[in-house]
């Protein structure tokens, strides 16, 4: 006679009563599973594929001892920290963290070499136009090098171009640029009396924030650009520009309004005023008064300089 599964509540209750009377107190799989082996087994990404057992071997696995499981866990940790290490030779060695190499360090070093070779702004522009070490160049339409007067006493540096800047190949030509023009006019300056550039000369896709690697690759170019212009006053527009060029981790609201110093590779110290980015002011108009104070400081500094 073939047994059938219980279908009604009465049949289920009768079956459970039978299990209770025979001492059954937990549900089991038809095929036994060694949970201890699963707990001590390395993750799938950390181990090689296990060999498939023959079909006729369907025997229950023995539970490994606690000591064995501890050894397996240490071996798994050692494989994760140092794949090339023979765990059998150093069974008691603690797990080590191997420092990851920066994949773009070679490109950053190449950028430093190329930037240092430029003796004029035009040479620097040409070097940057042929440089392929930054991935942002592949998605940008144009190199956004600079705008304004390279002989000016004031140089302003932002973070990266936006959509309008990428199309025209000039920095600060969109809404942020229009606000910047009005801010400059308020202290008697315009694009013929200032020089404007960005830390990043290529637009990040979708106007996303540049990564630290992208910033480090482009840093030598903007530092050499500042050195070649040699302005009397540097204005850092926004936190990323200030943090990159002033080597600080402070936020822009703490930095702004306080004179700092940017030191070039040749040792020239340039007074720097960190201030709020025009794009931020468009989103937070109430802080325009703070930027106005900063620009008044720039105006006063220019008057005091010889």
Cβ–Cβ under 8 Å, residues 184 and 225: no
Phi and psi based region of residue 188 (left: phi greater than 0; alpha: psi -120 to 50; beta: remaining)? left
- CA-CA distances (angstroms) from residue 222 to 9, 178, 246? 79, 23, 12
33 is a domain residue: no
Determine the average pLDDT of the residues in 144-160.
Answer: 98
Tell me what pLDDT residue 108 has. 92
How confident is residue 1, by pLDDT bands cut at 50, 70 and 90? very low
Q: List phi, psi (to 5°) of 270.
A: -115, 125
Residue 150 predicted with pLDDT over 50: yes
253 is a domain residue: yes
The mean of the pLDDT values for the chain is 82
Task: Report pLDDT digits (tens) over 230-286.
Answer: 999 999 999 999 999 999 999 999 999 999 999 999 999 999 999 999 999 999 999
Strand boundaries in 122-231, DSSP class E:
147-148, 154-158, 194-198
Task: Report pLDDT digits (tens) over 132-145.
Answer: 999 999 999 999 99
Determine the average pLDDT of the residues in 182-191.
Answer: 97
By C-alpha distance, which of 63, 66, 73, 22 is closest to 43?
A: 73
**Proportion of the chain above pLDDT 90, given as a percent:** 65
Tell me what pLDDT residue 65 has. 43
Q: What is the CA radius of gyration of the chain?
A: 33
Residue 305 predicted with pLDDT over 80: yes
What is the number of domains present in the chain?
1
How confident is residue 41, by pLDDT bands cut at 50, 70 and 90? low
2 is a domain residue: no
Residue 89 predicted with pLDDT over 70: no
Determine the average pLDDT of the residues in 121-150.
Answer: 97
84 is a domain residue: no
Tell me what pLDDT residue 56 has. 45
For 81-103, b/e burial (b = at least 16 CB within 10 A) is ebeeeeeeeeeeeeeeeeeeeee
Residue 70 predicted with pLDDT over 60: no
Cβ–Cβ under 8 Å, residues 272 and 245: yes
Q: Answer yes or no: pTM beyond 0.75.
A: no
173 is a domain residue: yes
Residue 287 predicted with pLDDT over 60: yes
- CA-CA distances (angstroms) from residue 249 to 47, 98, 236, 255? 40, 26, 14, 10
What would the two tokens of residue 205 be?
């896709």
20 is a domain residue: no
Give the CATH number for residue 295.
3.40.470.10
By C-alpha distance, which of 209, 221, 211, 220 is closest to 103?
A: 211
Determine the average pLDDT of the residues in 122-132.
Answer: 97
For 172-196, b/e burial (b = at least 16 CB within 10 A) is bbbebbebbbebbeeeebebeebbb
Determine the average pLDDT of the residues in 6-22.
Answer: 75
97 is a domain residue: no
Strand boundaries in 211-263, DSSP class E:
233-237, 260-263
80 is a domain residue: no
Structural domain including 160 reads: 107-304
How confident is residue 216, by pLDDT bands cut at 50, 70 and 90? very high
Rounded to the nearest 10 degrees, how much is the dihedral formed by the CA atoms of 204, 243, 115, 143? Answer: 20
How confident is residue 121, by pLDDT bands cut at 50, 70 and 90? very high
Angle between helix 212-229 and helix 239-246 axes, rounded to 10 deg: 70
Q: What is the Cα–Cα distance from 79 to 70, expressed in whole angstroms? A: 14
């Amino acid at each position: 006679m073939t047994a059938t599964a219980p279908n009604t509540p009465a049949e289920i209750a009768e079956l459970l009563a039978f299990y209770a009377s025979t001492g059954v107190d937990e549900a089991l799989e038809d095929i036994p599973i060694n949970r201890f082996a699963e707990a001590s087994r390395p993750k799938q990404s950390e181990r090689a594929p296990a060999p498939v057992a023959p079909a006729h071997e369907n025997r229950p696995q023995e539970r490994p001892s606690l000591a064995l499981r501890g050894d397996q866990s240490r071996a798994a940790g050692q494989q994760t920290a140092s794949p090339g290490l023979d765990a059998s030779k150093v069974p008691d060695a603690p797990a080590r963290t191997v420092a990851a190499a920066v994949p773009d360090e070679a490109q950053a070093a190449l950028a430093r070499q190329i930037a240092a070779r430029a003796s004029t702004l035009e040479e620097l522009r040409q070097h940057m136009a042929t440089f392929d070490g930054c991935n942002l160049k592949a998605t940008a339409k144009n190199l956004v090098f600079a705008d304004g007067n390279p002989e000016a006493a004031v140089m302003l540096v932002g973070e990266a171009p936006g959509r309008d800047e990428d199309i025209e190949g000039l920095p600060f030509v969109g809404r942020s640029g229009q606000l910047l023009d009005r801010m400059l006019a308020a202290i008697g300056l315009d694009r013929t009396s200032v020089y404007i550039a960005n830390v990043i000369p290529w637009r990040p896709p979708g106007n996303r924030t540049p990564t630290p690697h992208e910033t480090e690759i482009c840093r030598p170019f903007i530092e050499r650009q500042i050195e070649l212009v040699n302005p009397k006053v540097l204005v850092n527009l926004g936190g990323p520009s200030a943090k990159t060029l002033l080597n600080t981790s402070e936020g822009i609201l703490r930095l702004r309004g306080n004179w700092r110093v940017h030191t070039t590779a040749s040792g020239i110290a340039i007074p720097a005023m960190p201030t709020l980015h025009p794009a931020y002011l468009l989103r937070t108009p109430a802080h325009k008064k703070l930027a106005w104070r900063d620009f008044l400081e720039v105006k006063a500094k220019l008057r005091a300089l010889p």
